[in-house]
Amino acid sequence: MIGVSVNKDRFFYDIHSLVKAFYPGENVSCFVKGEKEIVSTAGSPSLSVDLREEIGEITVTLISPDGAGRTEDTRCLPMAEGERISSIDLQPVRDAAGERQYRAKNALKRLLYRMLSEETGKRLPWGSLTGIRPTHIPKTFLQAGWEETAILAELTDTYFVSEEKARLALEIAETERVLLSDAEYETGYSLYIGIPFCPTTCLYCSFPSYPLGMHQAQVEGYLDALESEMDYAAGAFRKKKLYTIYVGGGTPTTLTPAQSERLLRAIEDRFDLSHVKEFTVEAGRPDSVTREKLEVLSRHPVTRLSINPQSMQQKTLDLIGRLHSVEDVRSAYHLARECGDFHINMDLILGLPGESARDVAATLSEIEALRPDDLTIHALAIKRGSRMQAMMETKGVSYPEFEDIEAAAREARDAARRMGLSPYYLYRQKNIAGNYENTGYADLKKDAAGLYNVLINEDVHSIVALGAGAISKCVRGSEVSRAENVKELSQYLERTEEMIERKRRLYGSSGS
Ligand code: SF4
């Protein structure tokens, strides 16, 4: 346990994320001084933070495990005349208090990063950036007309981002700008439909997922509920153009061919698809894919499939509860190529338990032989108290080392380049392995980038989301608000009308 005392209840998320990134195996707890006391365990450092942003001062004290301590201060005053403009000065802050907060947060993160880096001898690939969208900063600078070299310098000097990640973030920001150049997107919307059934539940799963064998009897009722939600969405958004559709989950290909036919027909009957540029169906688990199901998808305007091996190492698939073979992945992929003209995405996960960089390299050479159009590289996010964590403790399987994940991420990037795939979107999650990121690579010459991924990541327009656990997003200019459907399946089935009402409140009757 690492205890972090702070003189006021502020910036806990940023402090926690940064300390955790340096000490991934430790629990980190932030608390307000005087309200409670959390003592670091023996062998762990402790930190104390004093924020005096009203006078532009911040002090951090770090006590090493051997008891040695040091204190450093930083200043965070508004920009003086003639001072170099930084990304902080380009952020849309509403008032002087907001600006003070923003500057204080960034100054605190820079100071913390420096002190923790000296203490541990580590440098984090994303430096002091803790947010989910590190491409936001280069994007802001590109919009402000900055030169590439100045943007790279800002990322490496101000935020301590490694040069490799700075170049990646800039490349993605430039690609996203091209992908989103059609300004019409801002006035349209996207549709998400979640199918929460899977052949079995993978140990690392953080999505709504119910093993099909135990919930077969609820599938038709679930499709009824989705159709009710579709009736609402089609009516509310009738004046807006629908640009992308994403059927995710769960595993949509657990539906029988007849159920898939019913779902796709229901979408086509209700929505105007004439502006749709991308229609994705996740076929995440290869053990759910059959020729008959793929033929149904190919008879409808589905353009993109996602077949997700996660790893091509059988020992790993067995360990993480995937219950399918490496050969299943190959067969599902070849079948999909035979059955339709789909862009095929494949997802891999770095940082899976027991996997070395060599295992990842072997997986990547299998994927290179298949040549998907789009490859998404995730870094594993393990939640505290998850089944995955429990399994690792029971079986004594260790979490991959920081260096192993770094080497694996480099292997993945090089393999994607060899396949002619370029990075086009990137986001980070909490508890992500090695403070890394999830990156989508695609064959941009074949127009294979997953447009939905970019639209949702950049909050370009509203996403109306249907199904258990689906989160709808309403984007009005720079304001983003959300409405969440209940995750629990039977609750969703019983309370479908309430879920529709939540969306009605979010969007209003016109979907605006
Ligand atoms: S296939 Fe995906 S949604 Fe289903 S259990 Fe595995 S991780 Fe979860």
Residue at 511 is within a domain: no
Q: Of 83, 104, 120, which residue constitutes the final position of a domain?
A: 120
Measured in Å, residue 162 CA sits from the centre of ligand 1 at 33
- Which residue among 197, 204, 209 is best mutated to probe the pocket of ligand 1, counting the most ligand atoms within 8 A of its Cβ? 209
Query: Is the distance from CB of 301 to CB of 272 less than 8 angstroms?
Result: no
Read off the pLDDT of each residue in 264-270 and give the average, rounded to a whole number: 98
Q: d(Cα 395, Cα 377) in Å, to the nearest integer?
A: 26
Examine the domain organization and report whether 292 and 206 are in the same domain. Answer: yes
Examine the domain organization and report whether 2 and 111 are in the same domain. Answer: yes
Query: Is the distance from CB of 307 to CB of 289 less than 8 angstroms?
Result: yes
User: Over 60: is that where the pLDDT of 391 sits?
Assistant: yes
Measured in Å, residue 382 CA sits from the centre of ligand 1 at 14
Examine the domain organization and report whether 346 and 453 are in the same domain. Answer: yes
Which residues share a beta bridge with 484?
A: 471
| pLDDT given for residue 81 in this prediction | 47
- Nearest residue (by CA) to ligand 1, atom 7, is 205
**Higher confidence at residue 387 or residue 211?**
211
Greatest pairwise CA separation for the chain in angstroms = 69
- Nearest residue (by CA) to ligand 1, atom 2, is 250
Measured in Å, residue 214 CA sits from the centre of ligand 1 at 15
- Nearest residue (by CA) to ligand 1, atom 5, is 201
Tell me which H or E stretch contains 195.
strand 189-195
Q: Of 163, 179, 195, which residue constitutes the final position of a domain?
A: 179
Specify the ligand 1 atom closest to the Cα of 250.
3
Specify the ligand 1 atom closest to the Cα of 284.
1
Examine the domain organization and report whether 173 and 189 are in the same domain. Answer: no
Residue at 512 is within a domain: no
CATH code of the domain in which 196 resides: 3.30.750.200
Measured in Å, residue 481 CA sits from the centre of ligand 1 at 27
Burial of 296 (0-12, 13-18, 19+ CB in 10 A): buried
Residue at 226 is within a domain: yes
Measured in Å, residue 241 CA sits from the centre of ligand 1 at 31
- Nearest residue (by CA) to ligand 1, atom 3, is 250
Q: d(Cα 128, Cα 309) in Å, to the nearest integer?
A: 32
* Per-residue pLDDT reduced to its tens digit, 308-352: 999 999 999 998 888 899 999 999 999 999 999 999 999 999 988
User: Over 70: is that where the pLDDT of 512 sits?
Assistant: no
Query: Is the distance from CB of 15 to CB of 6 less than 8 angstroms?
Result: yes
- Nearest residue (by CA) to ligand 1, atom 8, is 205
Residue at 473 is within a domain: yes
Specify the ligand 1 atom closest to the Cα of 285.
1
Q: pLDDT grade, residue 224 (50/70/90)?
A: very high
Helix then strand then coil, % of the chain, to nearest 5: 45, 20, 35
Examine the domain organization and report whether 135 and 166 are in the same domain. Answer: yes
Examine the domain organization and report whether 157 and 275 are in the same domain. Answer: no
Read off the pLDDT of each residue in 503-512 and give the average, rounded to a whole number: 80
Examine the domain organization and report whether 167 and 210 are in the same domain. Answer: no
Measured in Å, residue 66 CA sits from the centre of ligand 1 at 44
Measured in Å, residue 329 CA sits from the centre of ligand 1 at 15
Q: pLDDT grade, residue 507 (50/70/90)?
A: very high
Examine the domain organization and report whether 34 and 147 are in the same domain. Answer: no
Of 355, 387, 377, the residue nearest 205 (C-alpha): 387
- Nearest residue (by CA) to ligand 1, atom 6, is 202
Specify the ligand 1 atom closest to the Cα of 198.
4
Residue at 350 is within a domain: yes
Residues with CB under 6 A from ligand 1: 198, 201-202, 205, 207, 209, 249-251, 284-285
Q: Of 120, 144, 164, which residue constitutes the final position of a domain?
A: 120
pTM, entire model: 0.88
Residue at 355 is within a domain: yes
**In which domain, by residue range, is 364 found?**
183-505
Residue 162 burial (CB count, 10 A) = 16
Examine the domain organization and report whether 167 and 140 are in the same domain. Answer: yes
* Per-residue pLDDT reduced to its tens digit, 41-57: 888 899 999 998 778 88
Which percentage of the chain shows pLDDT scores above 70? 92
Domain count within the chain: 3
* Identity of the residue numbered 42: A
Specify the ligand 1 atom closest to the Cα of 196.
3
Measured in Å, residue 250 CA sits from the centre of ligand 1 at 5
- Which residue among 203, 212, 215, 285 is best mutated to probe the pocket of ligand 1, counting the most ligand atoms within 8 A of its Cβ? 285
User: Over 60: is that where the pLDDT of 86 sits?
Assistant: no
Between the alpha carbon of residue 98 and those of residues 88, 245, 356, the distances in Å are 11, 37, 45
**pLDDT, the chain, mean:** 89
Q: d(Cα 495, Cα 501) in Å, to the nearest integer?
A: 10
Query: Is the distance from CB of 199 to CB of 254 less than 8 angstroms?
Result: yes
| pLDDT given for residue 244 in this prediction | 97
Residue at 487 is within a domain: yes
Q: Is 354 left (phi over 0), alpha (psi -120 to 50) or beta?
A: left
Of 377, 372, 179, the residue nearest 278 (C-alpha): 179
Residue at 478 is within a domain: yes
Examine the domain organization and report whether 127 and 112 are in the same domain. Answer: no
Examine the domain organization and report whether 195 and 172 are in the same domain. Answer: no
Examine the domain organization and report whether 245 and 364 are in the same domain. Answer: yes
Read off the pLDDT of each residue in 395-418 and give the average, rounded to a whole number: 83
Q: Is 435 left (phi over 0), alpha (psi -120 to 50) or beta?
A: left
Read off the pLDDT of each residue in 15-29 and give the average, rounded to a whole number: 86
Specify the ligand 1 atom closest to the Cα of 322.
6
Q: pLDDT grade, residue 383 (50/70/90)?
A: low
